[in-house]
Amino acid sequence: MKIKVHSYEVTATCQGEGNDCVLLLHGGPGLPSNYLFDAHTFLTDHGFKIATWDQLGCGMSDKPNDPSLWRLERFVEEVEIVRNALKLGQVYLLGQSWGGMLGLNYCFKYPKNVKAFIAADTAFDLIQMQRGFERKKLALGEEFCTMMARREAEGSTDHPEYQAAITILMYRHMCRAEKWPDVLNYCFANIAMPVLSTMFGPYLLNCTGNIRHFNWIDQLPNMKIPTLIIHGEHDYMLPDIALMAKDHLPNAELALLSGCSHLPFFEDPPAYNQVLLSFLNKMRKL
């Protein structure tokens, strides 16, 4: 369905019945929502409704040519507009990667609208996140790291040696599945580069966009919403960041998934699904 967000429209999707709704916030910024929706349809077999949408500029939503729109604060308001338009009431809010950053800031501003928050493979200190990126690149060797920086600086990232390094990093730290699901390949092939480049930056493992200096760690002790942090052992957003967040949140638990990286719901669905469903069922009883 189409939802009006000020002068534009975004495309939303819902599945399942009932009052227990998991509202999904996709990553990127700039990915379509398909990958996250498909990975969570199993929840409808357990009595949950799931809802998501392609954030403005992404997927099937409008794509205005206005860089001033690609700001965290505006996206927070977009979450609230969509929640109201879909008449979801209080939600279980699940944000993956960038969606976790967006979800956290929504919780800060609209805490009464969130029953529980799930932060899946995200970071709440983007300066530390960038340092972790450097560690992952250095693990390939200093020559690889130097080459990547040079190719990015001179604008020759289409060179085979740079693309080879990106392929290795993606398969080690984005999704370690032997064969990537078609929906994931589709989403990466259709990423909204204007949104990604403005907010994160155009290159993997190098955050140069307008979110690069954000750090919400000092605000976490004030958030009382029950929170589940799910994080992959090999994520390019280092597990140290997830542990730091857990230690600062007063009502949080952490599930570190062995053998997984940034997309554990594709890498080890049984483990991810069990952790998420157990937490949601526990929250249901409160």
- What is the SS3 assignment for 75-90? HHHHHHHHHHHCCCCC
Give the total number of structural domains in the chain.
Answer: 1
Q: Smallest Cα–Cα separation from 123: which of 24, 250, 213?
A: 213
Please tell me the predicted confidence (pLDDT) of residue 285: 87
* Rounded-to-10 torsion of CA 167, 171, 174, 180: 100
And the tokens for 197? Answer: 């480049």
Please tell me the predicted confidence (pLDDT) of residue 194: 97
Sign of the torsion angle spanned by Cα atoms 186, 187, 188, 192: positive
And the tokens for 106? Answer: 């929504």
In percent, how much of the chain has pLDDT > 70?
A: 100
Least confident of 60-64, 161-165, 265-269: 161-165
Which CATH number is 266's domain given?
3.40.50.1820
In the beta sheet, which residues pair with residue 254? 229
109, pLDDT greater than 90: yes
What is the CA angle 20-26-31, rounded to 5? Answer: 150
In the beta sheet, which residues pair with residue 53? 12
Q: Considering only residues 131 and 57, tell me which one the structure prediction assigns the higher pLDDT.
A: 57
18, pLDDT greater than 90: no
Please tell me the predicted confidence (pLDDT) of residue 60: 97
272, pLDDT greater than 90: yes
- CA-to-CA separations, 275 to 105, 226, 272, in angstroms, rounded: 23, 15, 5
Which residues are designated catalytic?
97, 235, 262
Range of the domain at 242: 2-284
Name the pairing type of β-strands 21-25 and 49-54. Answer: parallel
In angstroms, the CA 53 to CA 45 distance is 21
286, pLDDT greater than 90: no
Please tell me the predicted confidence (pLDDT) of residue 47: 95
